[in-house]
Structure 1
């Protein structure tokens, strides 16, 4: 839901400044808006798209000023009073964090998210307006996930269950059989995480994260969670088919046939069936994320839920 931004421009003495041009821009490069300050120094920007923004204030004879913030859905945001210094011969250099730097801060916060303080919950963004990740950051998130001690523990448990049920019987039993099952299970985890969460998202410019909705009716949140099993946010901020996850699942299934015992290898038909099962599992996990896991996750940044 669009919001509005208001504020006041003054000179170094505190007197109001009329005619200052206030321009708003967004990190996603959406359409810019402009407004002029009135005789009382006040300006107003209506119907502003929610999310991070930056204001640039210019007026002949004064030094250009900038101010940034985050507009929430439906919010009437009041910018702190901005003082316009008189222009001098000295060039002012203003350092504004790049999009990559902002994303780096955001994923560092995500890498602290753990269910019950233990299980990694890195691939969920509770900031619906989080900036897109650079390719390097997508690989960083995949690496952080695959080397987490909990990931090794879960892999070990899966291998133990497989051995108890004599799954992949071609591996045999005993320590050697367990080691082979552990290696195969971890290889599956590596392939799916890197291909579906880093390589393809980088090539296709898609975001591998689930963006928590947290607002709206239960029905809308259920539909949102289910839909996100087959769609994702692109790096351009638009929703699109989640080719990265779907093709990543198919690729990981095909690769697994390289190291599974010959008699336990899946055919192409079963690989496609497993991909469909994976989509269903993704929808189930998204539902848990939307309604339960957030309550159990620690170290979540303080973001306000926003309807997309």
Structure 2
């Protein structure tokens, strides 16, 4: 299954590796560049916009207030959350643990096998040498980013529960993203008739 660099021509898919594609190990620079691409690509404005609208609708951080100014507060917090998580999970963690931050498409087997594989990548990843290992970059990196967020959220929001929720949300979004990346080549071929 061939991956594209963008999903629907918009969403970055820079870390997805096509089925059976052999790539050299990522250098520290490669990991930094990938984290930067995922953080500052024009499409990186979308997820914080959605999370901000959801947070404001729920009034999840009352100190931010409502209206345009309130939405702006939700937005910059969500954007910084996303960016710090990208750098911890895709650059700092992988550089320190010698883990590969890319998603390797399985591309074979039934739906349950591929879905299980893709979701498991949140806790299992490849090492720079090609072996499998616990995905410390994802789990610890997302936790570190969530912990860092307590420095810029209002003091009432700096609880273990809020930090744990952000941590879990980050890992969950990444797991869901891996699953979408797993099936993107199939979706692309079936609905957009793109063959590679």
Give the TM-score category using the shorter length: 0.7 to 0.9
Larger of the two Rg values belongs to structure: 1
**More helix by proportion, 1 or 2?**
2
Query: RMSD value over aligned CA atoms?
Result: 2.5
- What's the secondary structure of 1:117's corresponding residue? coil
- What's the secondary structure of 1:260's corresponding residue? coil
Note if 1:288 corresponds to 2:183.
no
Give the C-alpha shift of residue 146 in structure 1: 1.1
Alignment of 1:89-168 (within 5 A): 113-128=5-20, 129-168=22-61
1:152, 1:276 → 2: CA distance?
21
> Are 1:169 and 1:264, in contact at CA under 8 Å, matched by a contact in 2?
no
1:243, 1:280 → 2: CA distance?
15
Aligned length: 189
Higher relative contact order (CA 8 A, sep 6+): 2
Q: Can you list the C-alpha shifts for 1:157-177, whole angstroms capped at 9, x where unaligned?
A: 322332233221111223332
Q: Can you list the C-alpha shifts for 1:57-116, whole angstroms capped at 9, x where unaligned?
A: xxxxxxxxxxxxxxxxxxxxxxxxxxxxxxxxxxxxxxxxxxxxxxxxxxxxx8x61111
1:206, 1:144 → 2: CA distance?
18
> Are 1:230 and 1:279, in contact at CA under 8 Å, matched by a contact in 2?
no
Give the C-alpha shift of residue 181 in structure 1: 1.3
The TM-score with structure 2 as length reference comes to 0.83
1:145, 1:116 → 2: CA distance?
16
Unaligned runs of 5+ in 2: none
**More strand by proportion, 1 or 2?**
1
Give the C-alpha shift of residue 127 in structure 1: 4.9
Q: Can you list the C-alpha shifts for 1:253-293, whole angstroms capped at 9, x where unaligned?
A: 111111111222231x55345534544444433333223x2
> Are 1:214 and 1:221, in contact at CA under 8 Å, matched by a contact in 2?
yes
- CA, structure 1 residues 301+198, in 2 after alignment: closer, same or farther (shift >3 Å)? farther
The TM-score with structure 1 as length reference comes to 0.55
Give the C-alpha shift of residue 236 in structure 1: 0.7
Unaligned runs of 5+ in 1: 1-109, 303-308
